[in-house]
Amino acid sequence: MSQLFPGEVFANTADFDHGIRSLLPRYDEILDVLTHCLPSNSHYILELGCGTGEVSLKVLKCCPEAQIIALDYSPRMLQFAQDKITAAGYEQRWTGIQADFGEWAINSEKLDIGSEFDACVSSLAIHHLQDEMKLKLFKRIAASLKQDGCFWNADPILPESPALAEIYQEAREEWANQQGTNLTEIRAKVGNSSQQGYSDQDQLATLDTHLQMLTQAGFKTVAVPWKYYGLAIFGGFR
């Protein structure tokens, strides 16, 4: 089997969309909130770690004038996303680029994707970076946004204490049980990933740490529009 990159999760890419909805509470709600945080008149949007294209698809539907530049280091994820976007008829408004956004954070001149983005969005990807790299990425994002441009990230967060870790885990298990999910069956489809570029296994940070880093990176308004136990959407305006 080919090497599995952090974030690909499942050995078979076709299992991702169903599998992630089984493993992650309120996944579709996350997509909705992320999309609604973007101004509907956004023209130029950057997506970091586009995965199978689920976020891109929602954004293209909700922002009729949007053009998306989507980065992902996984060729199989990019192809899956491209096929999905094309099937929906949005291929003229979406450009997928095989690239490591960690590399972009520190060597942006090597990847000329432009700047002056109206918005940047990411989901379930940045938590694979070490905190030092997260901060560098947030600074790169801020520098690539228009004045008053926004950035929103949906990611798991580090529990603030062992007691909260237990609460967050119980919430996820309860969610799966309520959905009638056979977690053993779903987890059997999960592959073992190895480090790729600047990304590795989960390298979580607390929500407070993320917000401090965003402020340090130059975001003047920092907010958390959504949180559910150990999952959060956070970001702000430049």
The residue range of the domain holding 136 is 13-237
| The pLDDT of residue 35 is above 90 | yes
Q: Exposed, middle or buried: residue 121 (CB in 10 Å: 0-12, 13-18, 19+)?
A: buried
**Is the residue at 4 inside a domain?**
no
Euclidean distance between CA atoms 202 and 205, whole angstroms: 10
**Total tally of structural domains belonging to the chain:** 1
Cα distances from 129 to residues 58, 77, 161, 176, 223, in angstroms, run 25, 19, 21, 27, 21
Q: What is the pLDDT of residues 53-83, one digit of tens each?
A: 999 999 999 999 999 999 998 888 899 999 9
- 104 within a domain of the structure (yes/no): yes
Whether 6 is in a domain gets the answer no
* 73-to-48, 51, 79 alpha-carbon distances in Å: 10, 9, 11
Task: Report the pLDDT value the prediction gives residue 1, as an integer from 0 to 100.
Answer: 43
**116 burial class (0-12, 13-18, 19+ CB within 10 angstroms)?**
exposed
Question: Is residue 51 domain-resident?
Answer: yes
Residue 77 lies in a domain: yes
Instruction: Tell me the pLDDT band of 179, cut-offs 50, 70 and 90.
Output: confident
CA separation for the pair 37, 39 (Å, rounded): 7
Q: Is residue 132 part of a domain?
A: yes
Q: What pairs with residue 119 in β-bridges?
A: 45, 150
Is residue 233 helix, strand or coil? strand
**In this structure, is residue 1 part of a structural domain?**
no
Q: What is the pLDDT of residues 117-175, one digit of tens each?
A: 999 999 999 998 999 999 999 999 999 999 999 999 999 999 999 999 999 999 988 88
Q: Give the CATH number, domain containing residue 165.
A: 3.40.50.150
Query: Cα(122)–Cα(153) distance, rounded to whole angstroms?
Result: 5
**Average pLDDT over all residues of the chain:** 89
Q: What is the pLDDT of residues 70-119, one digit of tens each?
A: 999 888 889 999 999 999 999 999 999 999 999 999 988 888 898 899 99
